[in-house]
Amino acid sequence: MSDVTRRTFLRRTGLIGGGLLAAPVLGACGGGTGGGPAVTSGAVTINLWTHDPNITKTFIQSAKQLSDAPGGAFDYTLKTTQADSEALVTKMVSQGAAGTGTPDMIGIVISVFPRVMAGGIGKQLLLDLDSVVAPVKDDLLRTSPYSIDGKLYGLETDTCLSVLYYREDEFKKNDIPEDVGTWEELAEIGARLHKKTGQSLGIVATGDNTSITNMFLQLLLQRGGGYFDQSGNLTLDSPEAVEVLDFMAKGVASGFLLALPDPYGAPNTAALKNGKLIAAVMPSWYNVYGLQTNVPEQKGKWRMRNLPKFAGGGHIASALGGTGFAVLKDKPNTAAATELLKRTYLTKEGQFLRFQHGGYLPTLKSLYQDKDFLGYEDEYLGGQRLFDIYTPASQDSPVFYQNPNLNVLIEALGGPMLETLQGKKKPAEAIKEAVAAYNSKKGN
């Protein structure tokens, strides 16, 4: 990776936080941020902004294939800019206010998307994709995180399905069943394991607020809870939230879960390398960017499975992270950029290309039954057929509802949650404190 380190890429692929920067007033300039007539055919240079080098490679190859296709309207050249997602969105908003210099396409990390939900920014700058996705609307996954007032403004790059990664060799060595049915059973096994060997079967984060709340959100969604409902109402104050936080706190106390300041940093890598951490709930991208990158020597020892269920109910999967790709509207290249996005994100060819380049899982439901995906075997995971796991997970994965005040909630929740994980506060007390702080900070 060039100007983005692998570690920061990992963090940015997750729900990274950050304050809501003041957005320049777009005023009446709207989305018309580039003069000239609309390009309807022939040579076109697409200005593409993204934080992700692998998605850049994907778009470059997709553009070439689209240019070479018989009857194609456009001959594409891509001009790419790679930087932190929040910085790119800040620049896009600033350029939008100036009325010039915006990209034709931009990738917006899921945690940064609330930036464009506020103040009508997304509606003014980004193309409403409802008509673009209409032919596959019922087949498309993960649209809610990139929707504003019921309209879709970004296409998800990866379904980011969360699974349980585990060391098959260590599970056999310690007589841990690979098919434990519930989290509660696995927690009991994990506590006994830690007492005996010092090993753990999962992690919680104790560093920055985003990392702390990410691990909680992943399990909360699986349990059937969430931060917000479809209408944007806060739903954090729930029995599910208290239960999940209590589960995590007890897991830390027993040693079942390992507390680390950074779930992707050096301490985590050390725990993987020395065999102290032998299982973890992580999204699909963790296989490539976490395990294969940090512990290549453990190739063939790891496997993955669907998540154990909570005894009280919920799903067999969860999700964490994601990036929505958007097209800037009312620009000369808007039509050409839309065609490139459609080809790369709404066709089997484009989705398989993304899977090959970065391990991005399909965002079309039907492709979880496609033979080219079903037959894929992962050498690092001992030749495991990944879609034996991902296909049922895709059918029972929770919905994450976005909200312009997401980062306000993360800041309100991080502190009380950390105190709970440290045994200083009861889970119910922490949730109520976070809800009160959120309501106060957002002005209720």
- For 66-80, the pLDDT digits (tens) are 999 998 899 999 999
Residues 338-364, mean pLDDT to the nearest whole number: 94
User: Chain centroid to CA 366: how far?
Assistant: 21
Q: What is the pLDDT of residue 34?
A: 56
Please enumerate, as own/partner, the contacts of 89-96 that have beta carbons within 8 Å and a separation of 24 or more. 89/115, 89/116, 90/21, 90/115, 91/49, 92/49, 92/125, 92/328, 93/23, 93/24, 93/26, 93/121, 93/125, 94/24, 95/33, 96/24, 96/26, 96/29, 96/31, 96/33, 96/121, 96/124, 96/125
Cβ atoms of 113 and 146 closer than 8 Å: yes
> How do residues 156-212 score in pLDDT, each as one tens digit?
999 999 999 999 999 999 999 999 999 999 999 999 999 999 999 999 999 999 999
Chain position carrying tokens 């003069």: 35
CA separation for the pair 57, 60 (Å, rounded)? 5
CA separation for the pair 90, 186 (Å, rounded)? 43
Nearest to 394 by CA among 380, 379, 373: 373
Asked whether residue 28 carries a pLDDT value surpassing 50, the answer given is: no
Chain position carrying tokens 């380049």: 357
Nearest to 360 by CA among 285, 282, 281: 285
CA separation for the pair 441, 444 (Å, rounded)? 8
Asked whether residue 49 carries a pLDDT value surpassing 60, the answer given is: yes
Q: Find the helix packing angle between 239-254 and 183-197, rounded to 10°.
A: 20
Q: The tokens of 409 are what?
A: 């909630």
Q: What is the pLDDT of residue 101?
A: 93
The pTM of this model reads 0.88
CA separation for the pair 213, 99 (Å, rounded)? 37
Q: What is the pLDDT of residue 357?
A: 83
CA separation for the pair 438, 16 (Å, rounded)? 18
Asked whether residue 389 carries a pLDDT value surpassing 80, the answer given is: yes
Asked whether residue 119 carries a pLDDT value surpassing 90, the answer given is: no
CA separation for the pair 315, 306 (Å, rounded)? 10
7 — pLDDT class (breaks 50, 70, 90): very low
Q: What is the pLDDT of residue 443?
A: 65
Residue 298 C-beta-side C-alpha neighbours within 13 Å: 27
Cβ atoms of 59 and 340 closer than 8 Å: yes
CA separation for the pair 72, 397 (Å, rounded)? 37
> How do residues 299-334 score in pLDDT, each as one tens digit?
999 999 999 999 999 999 999 999 999 999 999 999
Asked whether residue 406 carries a pLDDT value surpassing 50, the answer given is: yes
229 — pLDDT class (breaks 50, 70, 90): very high
Q: What is the pLDDT of residue 183?
A: 98
Q: Provide, rounded to the nearest whole percent, the portion of the chain with pLDDT above 70.
A: 92
Residues 409-438, mean pLDDT to the nearest whole number: 97
Report the amino acid identity of residue 298: Q
The SS3 call for residue 392 is helix
Asked whether residue 444 carries a pLDDT value surpassing 90, the answer given is: no
The SS3 call for residue 396 is coil
